[in-house]
Amino acid sequence: MFALFSTIDLAFSIYTWILIASAIYSWLYAFNVVNPRNAFVANIGQFLYAVTEPVLAPIRRRLPNLNGIDISPIILLLLIYFIRMLMWNSIYPMVAGSV
């Protein structure tokens, strides 16, 4: 059971870093630090968008308009943190104690 919980936790950790990379990429793109016409940079941007947008879009729809400030990655990071803490501090002890 520990292996399953560790794998889920690793997946959340990897997705957290992908969210952070996506936010940094969006800032670099917005301030013209990276060249979007470069094929490698464009591929990274497309990957980050494809991986994060399906999760961030529903959060954005529910948030109020903050005049161009996107806090949906922060909300998602807090949600991931909450799920990880719930998993390790509440669910895992109950499951591990019954086995």
Q: Where are the domains of the chain?
A: 2-98
What is the C-alpha to C-alpha distance for residues 11 and 3, in angstroms, rounded to an integer?
12
How many Cβ atoms from other residues are within 10 Å of residue 79's Cβ? Answer: 12
pLDDT in tens, 60-91: 999 998 888 899 999 999 999 999 999 999 99
Q: Determine the distance from the C-alpha atom of residue 68 to the mean position of all C-alpha atoms in its chain, rounded to a whole number.
A: 20
Confidence of residue 36 (pLDDT cuts 50, 70, 90): confident
Q: Which of 45, 55, 54, 42 is nearest to 22 (CA)?
A: 45
pTM of the model: 0.90
Alpha helix segments (H runs only) across 1-99? 2-30, 39-62, 72-86, 92-98
